[in-house]
Structure 1
Amino acid sequence: MRDEDQPQAGRFLGAEHRFAVRVYFEDTDLSGVVYHANYLRYMERARSDMLRLAGIDQRATHDAGEGAYAVADLAIRYRAPARLDDALLVVSRVIAVRAASVVIHHTVRRGSLVLAEAEVTVALVAPSGRPKRQPAAWTDIYQSLIWQGTNS
């Protein structure tokens, strides 16, 4: 498969990851606006691609039986609705790193208008279901991505 035929993974602008998404009919509810849970889907896709681009191989860790990330905490605020065919941008920033978890702030925008914001804590969980220390290489990557407030 050629590069241009690959799914879009967003891009880094400094420590900030930017992921574009389009609102499709399936994303909307009967009132014609994006259903509230779909903002979480957009953020999950952005976060997954951010980690992949940064060099964190979640699939290899899972396939090796070493665990997987799980959402441990989530706070979201909805500010304005998105509608069918809107072009949105999910901006993701690492804001804290701990031994077994990382905190990522997501902002969903339409142009300069903020539609939703969330702070998500994901924890590495062993197959037993217990939190597990992240690999040192991962925490190093996260430390290099900690948001310093220099991009917009």
Structure 2
Amino acid sequence: MSEHLQPASGEFCADKAHRLPVRVYYEDTDFSGVVYHARYLHFFERGRTESLRACGIHHSELAAMDPPLAFAVRRMGVEFIRAARVDDILVVETRFRPQAGARLMMDQALTRDGETIATASVQAVCIDGAGRAKRPPEWMQKQWQDFVLTTISE
């Protein structure tokens, strides 16, 4: 395999949204042929992980720190608008909202051909190795600062 071949990582766009294309596989669907509701959470997780990676924040590096750090979802609200089906190409959009203490706030949307089919409002928290919430280190906040929305209308 070629050394330059990398998995899809998406990209940040001028509107400060990180966009990650994903394809719906048969394994993502239920008996009716539509995407099983829990799989939408997987798509959103990939979008969050890749948006942080695009900022230079890698989960493996956080876990290797002394003391180790991680992110955990504290709260998530999901709205299912339209069904996705096998072979659909979806785009996971992730936008960072202003941080509040240990919490990292994100809005996410799953789109198909420009139409929103699901949304998520996510509150993640930075945690230490014992699972206690802690404010993200300054270097981490600087990594994502350029991508944080400054107004609700952005």
TM surpasses 0.5 = yes
Contact 2:52–2:144 under 8 Å retained in 1:
no
The alignment status of 1:9 with 2:9, answered yes or no, reads yes
RMSD of equivalent CA atoms: 1.4
Q: Specify the SS of the correspondent of 1:96.
A: coil
2:144 to 137, 142, 145: 142
What code does the residue aligned with 2:70 have?
A
State, as a whole percentage, how many aligned pairs show the same letter: 34
Q: Which runs of 4+ in 1 moved over 6 A?
A: none
Q: Which 5+ residue runs of structure 1 have no aligned equivalent?
A: none
Rounded Cα–Cα distance in structure 2 between residues aligned with 1:57 and 1:33: 32
After superposition, the C-alpha distances for 1:53-100 in whole angstroms (9 at most, x for unaligned) are: 111132212122422100011000000000010010111100121231
Q: Specify the SS of the correspondent of 2:98.
A: strand
Contact 1:97–1:143 under 8 Å retained in 2:
no
Please, what TM-score do these two structures have when normalized by structure 2? 0.90
Please, what TM-score do these two structures have when normalized by structure 1? 0.92
Q: Specify the SS of the correspondent of 2:30.
A: coil
Q: Paired residues, what number?
A: 149
2:87 paired residue number: 85
Q: Which 5+ residue runs of structure 2 have no aligned equivalent?
A: none
What are the equivalent positions in structure 2 for 1:103-142 lying under 5 Å apart?
103-142=105-144
After superposition, the C-alpha distances for 1:1-34 in whole angstroms (9 at most, x for unaligned) are: 432x210100110311000000000000001000
What code does the residue aligned with 2:50 have?
D
